[in-house]
Amino acid sequence: MTPESSLTQYQAMPLQRVFDLYETRLRLVEAKIRELFSNKASIIPLIGSYITSSGGKRLRPLFHLISADIAGYKGDADIEIAGIIESIHTASLLHDDVVDMADVRRGKPTANSVWGNQLVVLVGDFLYSNALRNAVMQKNQKIMESLSEATTRMTEGELLQLNRIGDPDITEAEYIEIISSKTGALISAACRVGAILGGLKPELENALGEFGMKIGVVFQMADDILDYMADQTELGKKLGKDLEEGKITLPLLYLLKKADEEEHLEVKSLIKNDFSDSGIDRILSLLKKYNSIEESLAKAESLIKEAKDSLSVFPESTAKEALLSIADYSLHRGK
């Protein structure tokens, strides 16, 4: 049976089963994360512990561990690198909350609302630099290049987004570039570095990197789409917050593309000026009229298929099944 034909017969394993398979190694990653946050400046482990205890599924370390597994890697460097990857992600969360002036993350006050912007920015800087310092200690140029490129793109993505805040004329290509940089780049690097550890050929390394990039983009798309599909009680807050921050996401882009001239101008005005319940309800009604949510979901589904297809070059294995299962989870999940 070819990889292509077997892929069509694939049945997703539950996500919890994926985590169960890697539970032991993920525990080692947690210990590594705490070690990376250890410092004589006590505020660093304090804030590090605060944000890492706030929830999150450690998906980026999981992507890396599974990719190293699919690449046949048998050592322990994947634990070190998984910790480095999560440290980079944590730093990005700290900086994002400062930039967004966010007060809450995962139901808890953000670190910047507790300790202030100055301390949190500096702790984020430490986590970035310390993560890359530890990556250098792997003495592998390709690993260092992958992780440093990802961190560079993450910052570029944030700057690109800030440059287009409140701009309803942003294009779909620009939106994809922003979320590819902000979310896709680190997940792609997590997968690619797993391939590097296993010594895979460039085409296989690229296949894992492509898988990670596309699934990373879908994760962000899903967040953007789910904001418009949430319970009505939550929706006003979430959609109003998106509009207030000026973030134009895929459903709004598709709406603006299909709306007639009068509606187009109305939506632009609502985006810029009206965060009230009536303004939000009007946007919801137009999203429904033009099937913008369904079109957005179809776009994300097409990326999932492309991501899965990129894994067809790998033979069947439990690790491959795990990656395919995460691909399905990337869109079909709750908040």
Predicted local confidence at residue 5, as pLDDT: 32
Residues of the chain with pLDDT under 50: 1-10, 232-237, 334-335
- In the three-class reduction of DSSP (H, G, I as helix; E, B as strand; rest coil), residue 104 is classed as strand
pLDDT of res. 12: 65
The set of residues, in sequence order, having a beta carbon less than 8 Å from that of 184 and lying 6+ positions away, is 212, 213, 214, 216, 217, 220
Query: Quick one: 76 exposed, middle or buried, by C-beta within 10 A (0-12, 13-18, 19+)?
Result: exposed
Residues 6+ apart with CB under 8 A from 322: 13, 18, 21, 22, 66, 69
DSSP 176-191: HHHHIIIIIHHHHHHH
- Of 196, 244, 231, 211, give the one whose Cα is nearest residue 330: 211
The pTM of the full predicted model, rounded to 2 decimals, is 0.91
pLDDT at site 246: 78
- Site of tokens 């939106």: 175
pLDDT per residue over 176-230, tens digit each?
A: 999 999 999 999 999 999 999 999 999 999 999 999 999 999 999 998 888 787 6
For residues 291 and 296, give the distance between their C-alpha atoms in angstroms, rounded to a whole number.
Answer: 9
CB 47 within 8 A of CB 120: yes
- Could you tell me the domains of the chain? 3-329 (1.10.600.10)
Q: In whole angstroms, what separates CA 235 from the centre of its chain?
A: 21
For residue 299, give the nearest of 238, 226, 222 by alpha carbon: 222
